[in-house]
């Protein structure tokens, strides 16, 4: 596995349950996945000799995030099957290539234009209009590498903030809901779906994910047809997440494709017969895909580093309800906005699970616990005093 973050950690745990040993390649020795893998290679992704030795020592190579340098995946594929392939990554690592792929496949997506020169930026503003979002073509996630353009006179400044890197200019979409669909495809072409999952974001970072929502059931066939088209045209092997906007008039637009497990799919660990991580292992290793049957409606709430800024979160307070499950990623430094873990809640409906998850997360906050403790020790007015 290339990449050692929390997605790699959870994939490695799923692989171990199926009896596989995982060889991790990561530039960092202290990454979350390193704590649960059997063999570790610590080297730079551009170290061709290290990549070659690594790939010759394994039966199949996968990855836990899509921004592994293309040269690493291309080299690894010379020695072992690369799943997903370097060709898939070539398409999905670049926002402009990804949008053009969707356009060629006849899949509705946000209106866009390419920006690599001042003249192209002016043409993009004229063609797509404002408001819009200017995004770097490469890298960027959780709102990074993006700038909002609210009027034409803001376009130049927005591009300057992105260091005038090659970018894509996307029209602003007024949406009622963000959705994600996990699609797994095996080497034989078998396909399985998790979702669509409903997502709520705060400051461009996923906050809470829910599945299933009854109001989304009429869209399931359409969402899954789009997901099937994408993985078949990409000839993807493994799992990928397709992110959608559901517009106010009920139209579905594809926003992004992530060829790996996804933050929104973490709830599948408890909510489904087969989690997204086990499904990834099954697909990559050529096993039959597992059942995605729902065990229980569920919700997932992200735990960001902000919770650690005053003290250790109050884990006991959060876990007072029996169906609250805690997942921590083993990261050594808590920073604001950094994903440190998540809570999953099972309930008789996804909205109820989301409510319980948010309440449990609130109880984690040490400052809230201290305030509550202070309130409990203040003298109370009674008839006697």
- pLDDT value, residue 368: 53
Tell me the per-residue pLDDT of 98-108, one tens digit each, with 9 for 90 and over.
999 999 999 99
- pLDDT (mean) for 275-292: 98
**Best CA proximity match to 244, nearest among 259, 226, 263, 217:** 226
> Tokens standing for 104?
């060629």
Which distant-in-sequence residues (6+ apart) come within 8 Å of 128 by Cβ? 111, 112, 113, 169, 170, 171
Enclosing H/E stretch for 257: strand 252-258
Q: CA angle at residue 170 from 168 to 174, to 5 degrees?
A: 160
pLDDT classification of 39: cutoffs 50, 70, 90: very high
Give residue 365's pLDDT: 86
Please provide the average confidence, as pLDDT, over all residues in the chain. Answer: 92
**Phi-psi sector, 250: left (phi>0), alpha (psi -120 to 50), beta:** left
Residue 333, token pair as written in the block: 């430094």
pLDDT at 296: 97
pLDDT confidence band for 322 (50 / 70 / 90)? confident
Per-residue pLDDT, averaged over 189-208, amounts to 96
Taking the model in full, what pTM does it have?
A: 0.91
Distance CA 6, CA 12 (A): 10
User: If you average pLDDT over residues 187-208, what whole number do you get?
Assistant: 96
233-258 confidence digits (pLDDT tens): 999 999 999 999 999 999 999 999 99
Three-class DSSP category at 361: helix
Quote the pLDDT of residue 140. 59
Chain segment 108-121, per-residue pLDDT in tens: 999 999 999 999 99
Q: Walk me through the domains of the chain, giving residue ranges and CATH numbers.
A: 6-82 (3.40.50.20), 111-171 (3.30.1490.20), 175-370 (3.30.470.20)
When pLDDT is cut at 50, 70 and 90, the band that residue 310 belongs to is confident
In the block, residue with structure tokens 């995030």: 65
- Residues facing residue 325 across a β-bridge: 344
376 pLDDT higher than 80: no
- Tell me what percent of the residues of the chain surpass a pLDDT of 70: 94
Distances (CA, A) of 13 to 144, 185, 269: 29, 20, 11
329-to-29, 30, 67, 77, 279 alpha-carbon distances in Å: 15, 12, 20, 29, 20
CA atoms within 13 A on the CB side of 343: 29
Task: Judge whether residue 384 has pLDDT over 80.
Answer: no
DSSP H or E stretch at residue 260: none
Residue % of the chain over a pLDDT of 90 = 88
């Amino acid at each position: 596995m290339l990449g050692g973050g929390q997605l790699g950690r959870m994939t490695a745990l799923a692989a171990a349950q199926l009896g596989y040993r995982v060889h991790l390649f990561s530039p960092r020795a202290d990454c979350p996945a390193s704590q649960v893998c059997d063999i570790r290679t610590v080297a730079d992704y551009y170290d061709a000799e290290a990549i070659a030795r690594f790939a010759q020592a394994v039966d199949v190579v996968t990855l836990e995030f899509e921004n592994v340098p293309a040269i690493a995946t291309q080299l690894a594929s010379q020695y072992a099957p690369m799943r997903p392939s370097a060709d898939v990554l070539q398409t999905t690592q670049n926002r402009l290539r990804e949008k053009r792929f969707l356009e060629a496949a006849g899949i509705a997506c946000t209106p866009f234009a390419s920006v690599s020169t001042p003249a192209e930026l002016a043409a993009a503003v004229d063609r797509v209009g404002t408001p819009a979002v200017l995004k770097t073509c490469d890298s960027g996630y959780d709102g990074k590498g993006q700038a909002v353009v609210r009027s034409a006179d803001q376009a130049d400044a927005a591009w300057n903030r992105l260091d005038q890197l090659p970018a894509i200019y996307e029209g602003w979409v007024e949406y009622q809901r963000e959705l994600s669909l996990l699609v797994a495809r095996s080497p034989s072409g078998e396909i399985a779906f998790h979702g669509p999952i409903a997502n709520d974001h705060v400051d461009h970072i996923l906050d809470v994910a829910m599945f299933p929502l009854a109001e989304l059931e009429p869209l399931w066939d359409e969402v899954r047809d789009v997901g099937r088209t994408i993985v078949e045209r990409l000839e993807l092997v493994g799992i990928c997440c397709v992110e959608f906007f559901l517009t106010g008039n009920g139209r579905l637009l594809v926003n992004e494709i992530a060829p790996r497990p996804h933050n929104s799919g973490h709830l599948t660990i408890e909510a489904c017969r087969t989690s997204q991580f086990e499904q990834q292992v099954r697909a990559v290793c050529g096993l039959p895909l597992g059942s995605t049957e729902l065990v229980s409606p569920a919700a997932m709430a992200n735990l960001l580093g902000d919770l650690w800024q005053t003290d250790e979160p109050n884990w006991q307070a959060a876990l007072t309800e029996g169906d609250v499950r805690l997942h921590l990623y083993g990261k050594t430094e808590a920073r604001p906005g950094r994903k440190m873990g998540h809570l999953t809640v099972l309930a008789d409906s996804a909205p109820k699970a989301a409510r319980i998850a948010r309440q449990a997360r609130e109880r984690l906050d040490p400052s809230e616990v201290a305030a509550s403790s202070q309130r409990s020790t203040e003298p109370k007015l009674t008839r006697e005093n």
